[in-house]
Structure 1
Amino acid sequence: MKKLLLLCLFIVGLGVALVNFKGLAAKGDYNSIIVNFREDIPSTVLSQQLETIAQQYNQTPNLNSIFSINEHIYTLNGDQKLLKELRRSPIKQYVESIEPNYIYQAFEVPNDPDYSKQWNFRSINIERAWEETQGDGITVAVIDTGVSKVPDLEETAFVEGYDFVNDRIDAADDNGHGTHVAGTIAQSTNNNYGVAGIAYKAKIMPLKVLTGGGGGTITDIAEAIRFAADHGANVINMSLGGGGDTQVLKEAIDYAYSKGVVIVAAAGNSNQNAAAYPARYPHVISVSALDPTGKKAPYSNYGAGVDISAPGGSPEGKILQETIDPDTNKPVFAEFQGTSMAAPHVAGVAALIKASNEKLEPEEVLKVLKQSSRQVKEDPFNHYGAGQLDAATAVQLAIKGQITFKDFFRWLRDSGYLNPRFWIDGGAAALLPKIAMVLGSYLFAWFLRNYFPFNWTWPLSTGLIFGSSGLFFLRGFYIFDLPQWPFRVMGSSLPELGNIIQGNPWFNPFFASVIIPFCLIALLLGHPQWKWFAIGTTVGVAVCLGASAVFAPGVIWLGQDTLARCFLGVNALLCLGLACLAMKGEERTA
């Protein structure tokens, strides 16, 4: 009994909270209202309801467009006051929803003033990817000339790296190449300064292996790869390469790969029919470069070893990031071109993929990159590998099959469940009367248990819900391209089934009476288990009819006044009497 009382208090408290909490879904601007009539109502009924709206509210509903004819979607000018009136009117029984026609705006692009110059980001569809993730929790190791924390990297998180050229912890840049690469990956974004970065919430691990002149040894590069793998890097970017294949470098790459690190490298700038090393190694994602038109950049290597292509720039349009001027060691916004610029695009998107699904192994990240890329039909020389990088599709593919909080929250928001008015003002169901029906049926059954001892079983509980409220929350479920009537049927109690069948807002006297409960009792009374479903249904119907006599007494042919209330009340009492007769003499066999 204590558990039941606690449950009752919780549900009542939840109902009160919902009444007083407007929810996130209620926030938004609108100056018109959507009236989405049910698709199964007759055209004559639809015309009558449209005329009723026009006469009562002095507003003429109009089809949203010619494409709304079959969907019965109408709009009319109105504010919150009119919205509430419509939701409380009898019209609501003929509609799937009455809701604000919210005004949406284009998503804001980053407020970095020179973001408009980053054609390369728009070409990889980065803004849609940012709706899901910005690279939180991922560390990208930049194995290059070092990275200096220029102003547009001040808000970017760094982890400790190493300078393998000078054998020290400080891995500052004395060339500008590495800082530019790091900017593409994670330039500070939405800081009202400069430009943006792809995975701007990721961390950068600076590893200097190239001198100020741009050269570096295999041993330093191999050590940097192992350092990155041992110090928590999730992704490695190497915008460097050459023509030599060594066991030391291959073993370092295999080591990092075995520890789950995604390794990305530039294909090379010699316009040769083969990727350079280390991009050519099997466990490295090799990136060729695209020009602003999406064609292979004239300098880019292609052919053997190329896995994917990404923006690298050309004389017609280069890649803009903030870096340092090696002559003055001061920050400067500079435009570079090369496969060195293409590789960090892929490394940045790999960071977004890992942030979306950190369980993905390196081979799975490569698979996501390839499957999500925009394929080029005519590519006999493998200029593009699997295709052209697409950040948004890659992120969506990475989270496919996972139910994330964002997905669930978006579904709740789009379905209207976050807005209590969806329930209370007559959207899916009238919440408080439904709660009263559910609680009332259980409390009354508990009361009868004192006079007619029985045990609780699932047939009894199922009958109580079926008779009193149905699975009312299912009325708000709409699945694309599937019929909605099954949800309306499952979301209705037994007395409401006549409404669903006839498409009428008022009770059908056949369903909203003792007749069907009587038939169920007569048919199932001899069955040891299912008789309790019939008894539970009868009790539930009694409570439903009693509550409806108070909240919504409309009955076909009887109206909404005293006659309808009397009809529902009398049948509620008859159902209670029938349930008591069915229980009389029963032992604890339920």
Structure 2
Amino acid sequence: MKKLYLVLFLLFILLAFKQDDPKVSHKGGKFALPKGITAKDYLPNTLIIKFKNGGTQQVNNIGGEAKKQLQIDGVIINSLSKLFPSARQTQAVQAIGAKALPDLSEIYVARYEGGANIVNVINALLKDDQILYAEPSYVYRTSFVPNDALYGNQSYLNKVMAPQAWDVLKNASNVVIGIVDSGSDLQHEDLADNIYINTADPINGIDDDGYIDNYYGWDFVGNSAATMIPDNNPDVTSDTTDHGVHVSGIASAVSNNAKGVASIAFNAKLLIVKTGADNNGRSIYKGYEGIKYAADHGASIINCSWGGPGGGQFGQEMIDYAVAKGCLVIAAAGNDDTDLPDYPSAYKGVFSVASVTTSDIKSSFSNYGYMVDISAPGSSIYNTLNGSKYGFKSGTSMAAPMVASAAALVKAKYPSYNGLQIGEVLRTTSDPIDNLNAAYVGKLGRGRLNVLNALTKTTSSVRYQQIAVADQSNGNRAAGNELTLKLDLKSFLATISGLNVNITSTSPYVQILDPNLAVGTMGTLETKTNLGPIRVKVLANTPQNQEVVFKLTYSGNGGTYTDVEYYSLTVALDYLNVTVNKVSSTLTSNGRVGYSKSDALGGLGFVYKDENMLYEAALMIGKSTTQVANNARNDGNSNEDFVKQLSAQQVSSTTAAFEGTATFTDAGSTAPIGLKVKSRLLAYSTQPDDKYIIVEYEIFNTSNAVLQGIYPGLFTDWDLDEASSNATQYDAGTKTAYAYAKKNASYPYVGVKLLTNVAPAAYYPMSYQVAGNPLSDSKFTIAEKYQTLSSGVKAIGLGHDTNNGYDIMYTVGTGPYTIPVNGSIKVAYAFIGGDNLTELLNAGQAALTKYTTGITDPEVPVDPISLTFNLKQNYPNPGKDLTTIPFDIAEKSATTLVITNVTGKVVQTLINETLNAGRYSVPVNLQTLAAGVYFYKLRAGTYQKTLKMLVIK
């Protein structure tokens, strides 16, 4: 077996191809494990990788060149193989109706040796422009909970009106239900006759259809997850792995045979797809591969009674594939009694099922949320067990196959319906149960399954496909501003006339100015786009980064059709998009430039010539090899040392087209230096100043000692054209660090220029692809960050003397500085775009001229919205770790904000400075305060007010 160094083969690939889509940027530091995911939730040393079209040609030619490349972290690829060998690239242009099948021919599974952190390995992979995504191979858990027989054998079939439905239709023998699970009991007395037989591949030792002898189904895992050897026997081997047996019986036990149990759908065929190991019946290792297998082998309904917190592009793509082939993918919502996303249930296109008791009360274990489509009984369900036995199990695992069985009957009645339509029939004909679940209104789906209604009622169904949001505040949906929403709607079932959409919200932070949208008539499977606008006012007292849930109520057909749907939107974002000249970027509240978050989210980046060329620009302020306050990447994640004190806000300016400020501290650091930073961003709209923005940092010493040897700078990661083929150089005469596309001479230049001249400049170019630099091990430690800040001008460039260049980054900075107690320094940089190097340097000179001669201190905020002095209640209250104190300043005033204990002693001073008129929100760290009652007091000019808050532990 050929052993290849992981990033070596990537480098070889990336040298050969041009990026297909410049809007897709996968960079080191972007991938992070989802919240709640630990090593037990994914297969060790295993990755799912998708290449762009044509990338696989290079994979097949990996050879000597790759072996010459740099070894990273000692990781060695043991195998790299197509996940779906029979998939063809032409599938990408096939379609079912209006849905295109995703191209699965470029998806690979990689297995590697070495002890590197899986996040680092993935982020190294994502450096290659030919890779669309790289993810762990997630392990999921079956969604049932142990139960005993004390609850009795409850008549759940009666609850969902199955006996009455059988008078209408009971036979679904032409419908195949895919059971993607732990396997099943192929010889069970109440299952054997309904097991689907793949006559296209008889047991003859020959691969007749891509799988050898998959006559009774397929086992993707085999005996053990440690070996993962697939075979053609999806039978379970013990009672401990019989989760899939129970699920199979609920979906389609042999009914009316004078033995055992009955299912909703009579005679529906069970395609058994085993995705768990013989020795571990609770873990699902190959669930998404199983979904594709079921979709390819005739299943119209696919049941997934498993899930977990790990979501990604691979799983969504498998769902898209199945949906495009007309399947209904049904998934258990999960058993954690939470509204957090659980996958595959939370993926777009999946029919999500929550569990209720036979009294229609939410099962104590069931997940819930606006992503749930329907509920069904899942508590104490009696059905098939291994060895032709029967027994009880509980869980959303049991509710899902009940819905799958009903879906098979609907498919039998409406054979031309696609999967999404079948789901909508079940959803719109369910019985409402919100009145019995007051704490979960709208979060248990439309209602509880009613099979009789599904077979006898003709309904309409409208769902939004997309909602576009525009605002008046540079994209941050600011408090006091107006939003416009435009909807794309799709009708799935019967033609609806007189369709109206009414939008409401229980949030106290928005006012819907145009709540009604008249749509008119929509035919079956018709889509209408760009409907609206619907105007929404974000109220002046809205806290920052506030989530608002909107309820969309659909009505039509003379009042006989009503339905609801929910949409969530975050408003009053704590950053400002700046779009007043030929470059666009974002002012944040934490010192970053272009994005407020570490994974290229929360902002515009840096856009020039309609191209976003920035992946990351993070502030770093170094004092020593153990103290660097920063929010740059770090070992697959990022440091988040800067804590917002005063959020980004626009202020009036006598010269700039845009001027905005923000204030933050280094209180989030594990080793704080004792800093407060006021950042300022300026942009100009007229020549010669329309191709740059200026970013200034005033850095205050809030510690009790003089700060010496301070090095402020910016870690900047540019992506131009092909991100892996860039170069950077430093122009010492103008103190400009610039970057350009090595293989595309016509592509624009970008750069960062130091504008202050008090201390020497620093420039340190880096790349993951070059040995011996701080990024070569993907970690970028505190010591390495300090090294890049304090080494002066390290080199004249990187990649400029190669044929193809590298994926480059650099630190540009200045220092050392000494900052006295309560003193401050100012450093400033220009972010510049230009069509060529000469234009870039000329724009930089214009920025220097403007900064040194034409900039005054900021004045009052723009649009103060008729503010009055006002101190507001903190939120949350009571607070545990963090709370926020909001207040308004009506005019420029000397301001103090302090927290005192019950004796009046000041325990925290939050603000002691002159503030401009504006609306402020100050985050407060409560971790240093003991539990109890505290008071916070605001003084601004002659105004003063005190409020009480409670700290809990």
TM-score (norm 1): 0.45
Larger Rg: 1
Q: Which has the higher helix share?
A: 1
TM-score (norm 2): 0.28
